[in-house]
């Protein structure tokens, strides 16, 4: 059993919560940063489960019981490379979206909205007006948000 | 024999490298792609026969024995799924190649398509064969990275939107997977699946439940299990038909396979899992009801895909040999039929110029062969006897009915969801193939990937689709031997000993 370092545990909690909070945003840049932060959290967790800091695991330099566990480090190294590649890809995707659509915002499912529109007149009025309300609330929200990423795009 | 286990991973990745080098010659690329997948299918067939006769085949990479080194394991389940997946990949590749020839001409080589396609196949093979939780993560990453490229190739505004949803969701689930691996390692000190099965068993029950739930969430996202399914009907329909067919056939099923492997090997239960039963029932119903509301043919098929993920979860949730065998059989059937339906949908779209069901009609008169190609997999998906769908559903229902009241109730949901599937399929049939004949819509955007008209479909595209229909009919014809193999695989999985002893000799 590994006793956890309190400081690192708090850092992990912050990384995970910030990561997931950013993932819930609309702008792809923020989501990207969220994924980066979350990736750091996961990699740090991998490091942490290897136990407390210890000697480098090279045979002959120290007795084996003083060695740090090398496996989590190898795992984290692999994971870092993968997260790095995915981050680059997501950046390219964000740029492509900015070129094609003019902003890098993740939009609603268009066909889903169309089906919701189509079903509206047939359904019960009370439920559907509530639905319409949220739809209308969302639209100006996303419109307002759309100007923001465009500005971010400009600064890039 | 152990070399044989590494071939399904090595050959596609070497093939991918060769297709990059040979990217000047379209013919060479096509040859490499088809040859590699054909050889891998043959290897998978041999693996299945050997694994069925003499137990799991284990390859220790680098010569390091099991808990320390990485192992590749081909047991009955993985060899069976590898075989059917590679066959479907091969058929989809033939279809995709001919679509490319039809659209861009015979000599257009591509630096991305063939390498990425083979890389995806590498990832899928590795995911089936690996006996190590971290290699499974790497396999998922290879597979998903390839799929990100395939889904966002030749982007337009709508494809980039759906691509983004897909990439973000997949990345999130990968990071959750990484977290799960870290927690599993912290608790047990190993990532080898066979080793884990003994070490997790001695953990406190609360910790076991936490780890089991983490794996269910992680693989549930990948498998599109309700309530983690929402990304699938949003992202799959926008990709080109062969890509959607490949994704629908393979990617979600790899998630199911990972769920099946981890839940039976590492987190076994001796009675039906209430959580998985509820999730399975919800997945079946939400998917099937969602399909009824759709007007876009590809979205309808995507919702049905979600619904049928529930069937596979149900077999797992029963948690006995019969249930797991039912799931294995269902995965084999569903990989084939779902890929076929998306390919047929691609052919339909090229004939009619639209994916909107209400703008199609009377296609049976204009394209009778296409109608047959749609009708057979549609009935198979719904599970009409004597198709493969019936065989697989029967196995699930028998397992459910035998395992107690709660599973028998969910078995009732299986029947309801099957009927809803049938209803959705009949509705498509009536609107698309019967009724007044409608003229094909003109090509809305000649620059995009969708080319419309009879000239836009070629004989080999039909042949590849017909080949997959034939495979699904062959599954029905070989139902006896196949269900006995699946049955033995189910016993293996719930027994756990054959796998564990083979790996940790």
Query: If you write DSSP's letter for every residue of B467-500 in order, what string do you get?
Result: HHHHHHHHHHHTHHHHHHHHHHHHHHHHH-HHHH
Kindly report the number of other CB atoms within 10 A of residue B481's CB atom: 10
Cβ contact B178–A43 (<8 Å):
yes
How far apart, in whole angstroms, are the C-alpha atoms of residue A121 and residue A137? 19
Domains held by chain B: number = 1
The whole-number average pLDDT for the span B285-298 is 92
Asked if pLDDT for residue A111 goes beyond 60, the answer is: yes
Average pLDDT over chain A reads 75
Cβ–Cβ contact B301 with A under 8 A:
no
The answer, yes or no, to whether the previous bond of B386 is cis (omega within 30 of 0) is: yes
- Check residues A108 and B275 and name the one with the higher pLDDT: B275
Residue-level length of chain B: 505
Asked if pLDDT for residue A102 goes beyond 50, the answer is: yes
Q: Which range marks the domain in which residue B230 is found?
A: 2-503
Most A CBs within 10 A among B67, B153, B161, hence the mutation to make, goes to B161
Q: pLDDT digit string (tens) for B362-386?
A: 888 888 899 999 999 999 999 998 8
Of the partner residues A41, A45, A101, the one whose CB lies closest to the CB of residue B157 = A101
pLDDT at residue A85, rounded to an integer: 92
Chain A residues in contact with chain B using a Cβ-Cβ cutoff of 8 Å: 2, 19, 23, 28, 31, 35, 38-39, 41-43, 45-46, 48-49, 71-72, 75, 78-79, 82-83, 85-86, 89-90, 93, 96-97, 100-101, 106-107, 109-112, 114-115, 118-119
Kindly report the number of other CB atoms within 10 A of residue B254's CB atom: 26
Asked if pLDDT for residue A129 goes beyond 50, the answer is: no
Q: Band the pLDDT of A120: cuts 50, 70, 90.
A: low
Cβ contact B167–A93 (<8 Å):
yes
Average pLDDT over chain B reads 90
Most A CBs within 10 A among B138, B175, B354, hence the mutation to make, goes to B175
How far apart, in whole angstroms, are the C-alpha atoms of residue B459 and residue B444? 24
Of the partner residues B175, B186, B293, the one whose CB lies closest to the CB of residue A38 = B175
Q: How far is A44 from chain B, CA to nearest CA, in Å?
A: 9
Cβ contact B186–A38 (<8 Å):
no
How far apart, in whole angstroms, are the C-alpha atoms of residue A143 and residue B401? 52
Joined tokens for residue A25:
């945003």
pLDDT at residue B138, rounded to an integer: 95
Of the partner residues A89, A100, A115, the one whose CB lies closest to the CB of residue B148 = A89
Q: pLDDT digit string (tens) for B173-190?
A: 999 999 999 999 999 989
How far apart, in whole angstroms, are the C-alpha atoms of residue B119 and residue B173? 20
Asked if pLDDT for residue A14 goes beyond 60, the answer is: yes
Sequence-ordered list of residues with C-beta below 8 angstroms from that of B467, at least 6 positions apart, any chain: B91, B94
Angle between helices A6-23 and A28-49 (to 10 degrees): 150
pLDDT at residue B9, rounded to an integer: 94
Q: Band the pLDDT of B451: cuts 50, 70, 90.
A: low
Cβ–Cβ contact B155 with A under 8 A:
yes
Joined tokens for residue B193:
């699946």
Closest listed residue to residue B189, CA positions, set A78, A72, A43, A39: A72
CA distances for B250 relative to B27, B223, B282, angstroms: 26, 10, 22
A60 phi-psi bin (left φ>0, alpha ψ -120 to 50, beta other): left
pLDDT at residue B270, rounded to an integer: 86
Residue-level length of chain A: 156
Q: Where are the domains of chain A?
A: 6-101, 110-155
Asked if pLDDT for residue A154 goes beyond 60, the answer is: no
Residues paired with residue B130 on neighbouring β-strands, in sequence order: B72
CA dihedral B221, B225, B227, B231 (to 10 degrees): 60
Asked if pLDDT for residue B205 goes beyond 50, the answer is: yes
Q: What is the ipTM of this complex?
A: 0.85
How far apart, in whole angstroms, are the C-alpha atoms of residue B157 and residue A99? 9
- Check residues A104 and B334 and name the one with the higher pLDDT: B334
Cβ contact A111–B299 (<8 Å):
yes
pLDDT at residue A149, rounded to an integer: 40
Angle between helices B479-495 and B26-54 (to 10 degrees): 70
Q: pLDDT digit string (tens) for B97-139?
A: 988 888 887 777 777 889 999 999 999 999 999 999 999 999 9
The whole-number average pLDDT for the span B155-165 is 80
pLDDT at residue B478, rounded to an integer: 92
Share of chain A above pLDDT 90, in %: 28
Q: pLDDT digit string (tens) for B249-270?
A: 999 999 999 999 999 999 998 8
Closest listed residue to residue B400, CA positions, set B255, B284, B288: B284
**H or E element in which residue B424 lies:** helix B405-428
pLDDT at residue B450, rounded to an integer: 62
pLDDT at residue B444, rounded to an integer: 64
The whole-number average pLDDT for the span A103-123 is 69
SS3 for B106-131 is CCCCCCCHHHHHHHHHHHHHHHHHEC
Asked if pLDDT for residue A138 goes beyond 50, the answer is: no
Cβ contact B145–A89 (<8 Å):
yes
Sequence-ordered list of residues with C-beta below 8 angstroms from that of B459, at least 6 positions apart, any chain: none
Q: Which chain B residues have a beta carbon less than 8 Å from that of A115?
A: 293-295
Residue with tokens 């080793």: B195
CA dihedral B164, B168, B174, B176 (to 10 degrees): -160
Residue with tokens 């939400």: B286
Cβ contact B185–A78 (<8 Å):
no
Cβ–Cβ contact B358 with A under 8 A:
no
How far apart, in whole angstroms, are the C-alpha atoms of residue B480 and residue B477? 8
Asked if pLDDT for residue A41 goes beyond 80, the answer is: yes
Share of chain B above pLDDT 70, in %: 97
Q: Band the pLDDT of B445: cuts 50, 70, 90.
A: low
């Amino acid at each position: 059993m590994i006793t956890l370092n309190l400081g690192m545990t708090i850092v992990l909690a912050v990384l995970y919560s910030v990561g997931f909070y950013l993932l819930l945003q609309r702008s792809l840049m923020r989501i990207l940063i969220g994924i980066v932060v979350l990736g750091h959290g996961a990699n740090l967790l991998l490091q942490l489960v290897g136990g407390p800091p210890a000697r480098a695991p090279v045979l002959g330099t120290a007795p084996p019981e003083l060695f740090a566990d090398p496996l989590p480090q190898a795992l984290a190294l692999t994971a870092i490379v993968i997260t790095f590649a995915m981050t680059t890809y997501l950046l390219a995707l964000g740029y492509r979206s900015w070129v094609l659509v003019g902003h890098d915002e993740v939009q609603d499912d268009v066909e889903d909205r169309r089906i919701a529109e189509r079903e509206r007149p047939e359904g019960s009025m009370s439920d559907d007006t509530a639905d319409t309300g949220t739809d209308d609330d969302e639209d100006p929200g996303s419109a307002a948000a759309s100007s923001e990423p465009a500005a971010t795009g400009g600064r890039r | 024999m152990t070399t044989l286990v590494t071939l399904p991973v090595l050959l596609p990745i070497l093939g991918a490298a060769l297709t990059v080098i040979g990217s000047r010659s379209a013919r060479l690329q096509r040859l490499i792609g088809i040859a590699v997948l054909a050889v891998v299918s043959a290897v998978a067939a041999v693996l299945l026969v050997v694994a069925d006769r003499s137990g799991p085949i284990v390859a220790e990479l680098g010569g390091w024995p099991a808990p320390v080194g990485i192992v590749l394991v081909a047991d009955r389940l993985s060899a069976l799924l590898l075989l059917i997946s590679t066959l479907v990949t091969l058929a989809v590749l033939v279809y995709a190649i001919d679509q490319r020839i039809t659209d861009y001409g015979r000599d257009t080589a591509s630096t991305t398509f063939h390498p990425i396609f083979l890389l995806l196949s590498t990832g899928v093979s590795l995911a089936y064969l690996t006996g190590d939780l971290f290699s499974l993560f790497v396999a998922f990453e290879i597979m998903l990275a390839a799929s990100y490229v395939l889904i966002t190739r030749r982007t337009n505004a709508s494809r980039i939107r759906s691509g983004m949803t897909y990439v973000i969701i997949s990345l999130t689930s990968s990071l959750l997977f990484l977290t799960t691996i870290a927690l599993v390692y912290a608790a047990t000190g190993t990532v080898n699946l066979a080793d884990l099965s003994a070490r997790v068993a001695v953990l406190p029950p609360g910790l076991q439940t936490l780890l089991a739930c983490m794996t269910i969430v992680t693989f549930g996202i990948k498998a599109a299990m309700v309530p983690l399914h929402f990304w699938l009907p949003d992202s799959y329909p926008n990709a080109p038909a062969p890509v959607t067919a490949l994704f629908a056939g393979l990617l979600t099923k790899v998630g199911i396979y990972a769920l099946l492997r981890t839940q039976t090997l590492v987190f076994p239960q001796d009675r039906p899992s209430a959580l998985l039963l509820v999730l399975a029932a919800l997945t079946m119903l939400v998917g099937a009801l969602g399909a009824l509301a759709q007007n876009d043919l590809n979205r309808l098929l995507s919702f049905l895909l979600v619904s049928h993920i529930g069937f596979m979860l149900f077999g797992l949730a029963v948690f006995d040999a019969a249930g797991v065998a039912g799931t294995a059989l269902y995965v084999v059937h569903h990989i084939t039929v779902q890929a076929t339906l998306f390919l047929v949908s691609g052919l339909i779209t090229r004939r009619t110029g639209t994916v909107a069901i209400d703008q199609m009609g009377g296609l049976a008169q204009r394209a009778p062969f296409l109608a047959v190609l749609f009708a057979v997999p549609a009935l198979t998906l719904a599970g009409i006897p004597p198709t493969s769908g019936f065989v697989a559903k029967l196995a699930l229902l028998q397992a459910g009915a035998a395992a107690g009241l709660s599973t028998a109730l969910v078995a009732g949901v299986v029947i309801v969801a099957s009927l809803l599937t049938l209803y959705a399929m009949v509705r498509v049939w009536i609107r698309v193939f019967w009724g007044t004949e409608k003229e094909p819509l003109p090509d809305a955007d000649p620059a995009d990937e969708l080319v419309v008209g009879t000239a836009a479909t070629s004989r080999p595209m039909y042949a590849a689709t017909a080949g997959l229909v034939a495979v699904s009919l062959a599954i029905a014809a070989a139902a006896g031997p196949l269900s006995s193999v699946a049955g033995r695989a189910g016993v293996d999985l719930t027994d756990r000993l054959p796998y564990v002893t083979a790996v940790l000799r």
